[in-house]
Amino acid sequence: MQRRQPSFDLAELVGRKTEDVRERCARDGFQVQVIDLDRHPWVTLELNPHRIRLSTRRGVVEECHQG
């Protein structure tokens, strides 16, 4: 799979509400996976260049990564 860059900088998503960020990533054509750090911070290790993972706590994005 070829990696496609989002039309925005992932760093600008940090600190924003999870639902707003999820919608923005989905509109850009990415699958979105939300990891709630307060509940279960486990993730699988497979690489998916069409996915953006959002690490969240209390409904706010703390980190995001493509892959």
Give the residues across from 56 on adjacent strands.
36, 61
Tokens 């509400």 locate to 17
Domain architecture of the chain: domains with CATH: 10-66 (3.30.10.10)
Q: Which whole number is the average pLDDT over 39-57? A: 87
- pTM: predicted TM-score of the whole model, two decimal places: 0.84
% of the chain beyond a pLDDT of 70: 97
Interior/surface letters 7-40, b for 16+ CB within 10 angstroms, e for the rest: eeebeebeeeebeebbebbeeeebebbebeeeee
Q: Is the pLDDT reported for residue 61 higher than 70?
A: yes
Q: Which whole number is the average pLDDT over 36-62? A: 89
